[in-house]
C-alpha cells in the first residue's frame, strides 16, 4: 500500500539548516533556524534548567502517567507568569499542558473545530510558516489579513484593522503573535493592542494569541502586555504558549494551551475537551520539561537565575540589533537600519527578494530564508560588518 505515497518536499527551514551545515566556508553565517545562539554560536542548556534537572533527578520518585491535560501546577504557574496572578480572567480559564507551542496550537485548533467548525482563522501576512499547516489540517478554514509592510518594514495597522472589519464575520478567530512576531519582529504598540481589542469585541471576533517568545522581546511585562490587555477586554481569548525558546527546552516539547471562557462552568467543559482531544492524538503530553519548568518557577533562587539568563539572552539580541542597525545605516540601508533596532525578538524580515537571499547564500555563505527572514541570534560582533556589507551589496 505504501507505493501509493507521494514524496513530500523537505521542510524549507530544515533544508536551509542542512545546506549551511554542509558549507565548508569558515566565515559562513547561519541566520536560518529559529533557535537562540550565544556568542559562540552554541545553543546551550540554561543553568537554571541544569540545576532544576539535578534537583529533580533526586526528587522524582515515579514515572507513572500524569494526566491527559498534563501537569496542573505547570499550567497554574505558566498562567500566573503570563497573565499576572491577580488577573480576574484566571477564574474562568481552562488550560492543558501541550507538546510544545506547536502541540498547543493544534489543541487550540481542535477545540475551535469542536466548538465552531465554520469559523475562519485569520492569520497575519506573513506569519510563522507552520501556522497554516498546523491549524488548517485540523479541518479549519484559514484566511489572511495584511500585517507587515515590506517597504516601511513596520506594521500596516490601519490596513489590518480595516481588513478585519470588512472581511471577518462574527464568530471568526484572529491569530495574533503576542510578541516578537515571527517572521518580522514587528509588534503592535500598546495603543494598537487596545484598539485591536476594541475592534475584536465590536465585531464578535475571538483572539488566538501565540506566545512563543515571551521574555525575549523587551521585558516579561512588555511581552505579555498585549495578551493581558485582550484578557481585560475580550470575553473569550485562546492562548498557545511555548517554553521552547524562553527556557531553551526546545526538544523537551513544553507548551500550554488555555482558553479564557465566558464563565467558570464553560471553562470546566473546555478543560474536559482538552483532555479528550489530547487523549485521541498523543494521549498525554511529555512530563520531563514541564516538571523542570515547575521546579524553576516555584523555587525563588532558580526562578531568579532563570530571569537573569532570560535577560542575558534578550539583552544580547538587543545589543546585536543595535550593532547591525549601525552597520546598515548608510545610503540605501536607512529603512533597514531603523527597523532592525526597533523590532523585537529573534527575527527581522529584510526587504530582500528570494533572488537576493539566494545570492547571499551562494556568494557569501550567508544563510537566511528566501523571504529575507534573519535570526538575529545568528549574528555576532565579528560577523556583523561582513553581513551588513553583503546585504547592502545585493540590494
Ligand X SMILES: Cc1ncc(COP(=O)(O)O)c(C=O)c1O
Please say which residue, 70 or 255, places its beta carbon nearer to ligand X: 255
CB of 347 to ligand X, least distance (A): 8
CB of 377 to ligand X, least distance (A): 13
Q: In sequence order, which ranges of the chain are alpha helices (DSSP H)?
A: 12-22, 47-59, 72-83, 100-115, 131-136, 157-167, 190-202, 220-223, 225-233, 264-281, 288-297, 300-328, 334-342, 354-364, 384-394
The cell numbers describing 102, all together, are 506547536
The CB density around residue 284, as the number of other CB atoms within 10 Å, is 16
Q: Are strands 173-177 and 237-242 parallel, antiparallel or unpaired?
A: unpaired
Please say which residue, 245 or 323, places its beta carbon nearer to ligand X: 245
Please say which residue, 177 or 323, places its beta carbon nearer to ligand X: 177
d(CA 179, CA 211): 7
- For the question of residue 11 being annotated catalytic, the response is no
CB of 59 to ligand X, least distance (A): 25
Please say which residue, 212 or 327, places its beta carbon nearer to ligand X: 212
- For the question of residue 221 being annotated catalytic, the response is no
CB of 368 to ligand X, least distance (A): 15
Which residues contribute to the site for ligand X (CB under 6 A)?
34, 100-102, 128, 177, 182, 210, 212, 242, 244, 250, 255
Asked whether 274 and 249 are in contact (CB, 8 A), the reply is: no
Please say which residue, 240 or 328, places its beta carbon nearer to ligand X: 240
Kindly state the DSSP code that residue 126 receives in the 8-state scheme.
Answer: S
d(CA 257, CA 281): 15
Q: Please pick, among 210, 223, 306, 388, the residue that the annotation labels catalytic.
A: 210
User: With left for phi above 0 and alpha for psi between -120 and 50, is residue 365 left, alpha or beta?
Assistant: left
d(CA 160, CA 186): 13
Q: Please pick, among 119, 123, 128, 270, the residue that the annotation labels catalytic.
A: 128
- For the question of residue 172 being annotated catalytic, the response is no
- For the question of residue 202 being annotated catalytic, the response is no
CB of 147 to ligand X, least distance (A): 13
Q: Which residue numbers are catalytic?
A: 128, 210, 212, 245
Amino acid at each position: 500500500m505504501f507505493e501509493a505515497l507521494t514524496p513530500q518536499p523537505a521542510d524549507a527551514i530544515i533544508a536551509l539548516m542542512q545546506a549551511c551545515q554542509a558549507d565548508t566556508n569558515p566565515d559562513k553565517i547561519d541566520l536560518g533556524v529559529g533557535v537562540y545562539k550565544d556568542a559562540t554560536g552554541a545553543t546551550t542548556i540554561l543553568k537554571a534548567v541544569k540545576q532544576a534537572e539535578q534537583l529533580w533527578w533526586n526528587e522524582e520518585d515515579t514515572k507513572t502517567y500524569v494526566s491527559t491535560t498534563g501537569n496542573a501546577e505547570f499550567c497554574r504557574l505558566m498562567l500566573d507568569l503570563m497573565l499576572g496572578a491577580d488577573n480576574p480572567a484566571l477564574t474562568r480559564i481552562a488550560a492543558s499542558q501541550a507538546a510544545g507551542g506547536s502541540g498547543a496550537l493544534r489543541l487550540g485548533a481542535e477545540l475551535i473545530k469542536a466548538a465552531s467548525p465554520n469559523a475562519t482563522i485569520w492569520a497575519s501576512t506573513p506569519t510563522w510558516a507552520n501556522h497554516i499547516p498546523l491549524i488548517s489540517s485540523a479541518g479549519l478554514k484559514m484566511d489572511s489579513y495584511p500585517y507587515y509592510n515590506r517597504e516601511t518594514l513596520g506594521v500596516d495597522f490601519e490596513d489590518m484593522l480595516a481588513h478585519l472589519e470588512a472581511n471577518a464575520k462574527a464568530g471568526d478567530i484572529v491569530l495574533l503573535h503576542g510578541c516578537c512576531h515571527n517572521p518580522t519582529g514587528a509588534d503592535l504598540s500598546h495603543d494598537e493592542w487596545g484598539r485591536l481589542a476594541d475592534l475584536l469585541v465590536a465585531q464578535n471576533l475571538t483572539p488566538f494569541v501565540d506566545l512563543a517568545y515571551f521574555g525575549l522581546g523587551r521585558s516579561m511585562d512588555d511581552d505579555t502586555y498585549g495578551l493581558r490587555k485582550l484578557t481585560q477586554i475580550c470575553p473569550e481569548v485562546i492562548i498557545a504558549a511555548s517554553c521552547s525558546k524562553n527556557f531553551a527546552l526546545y526538544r523537551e516539547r513544553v507548551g500550554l494551551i488555555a482558553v479564557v471562557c465566558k464563565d467558570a462552568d464553560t471553562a470546566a467543559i473546555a478543560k474536559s475537551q482538552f483532555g479528550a482531544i489530547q487523549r485521541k492524538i498523543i494521549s498525554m503530553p511529555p512530563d520531563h520539561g514541564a516538571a523542570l519548568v515547575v521546579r524553576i518557577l516555584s523555587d525563588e533562587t532558580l526562578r531568579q537565575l532563570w530571569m537573569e539568563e532570560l535577560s542575558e539572552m534578550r539583552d544580547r539580541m538587543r545589543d546585536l540589533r543595535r550593532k547591525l542597525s549601525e552597520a546598515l545605516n548608510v545610503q540605501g540601508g536607512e529603512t533597514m537600519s531603523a527597523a532592525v533596532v526597533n523590532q523585537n525578538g529573534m527575527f527581522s524580515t529584510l526587504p530582500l527578494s528570494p533572488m537576493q537571499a539566494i545570492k547571499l547564500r551562494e556568494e557569501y555563505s550567508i544563510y537566511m530564508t528566501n523571504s529575507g527572514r534573519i535570526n538575529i541570534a545568528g549574528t555576532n560582533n565579528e560577523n556583523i560588518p561582513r553581513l551588513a556589507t553583503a546585504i547592502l551589496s545585493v540590494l
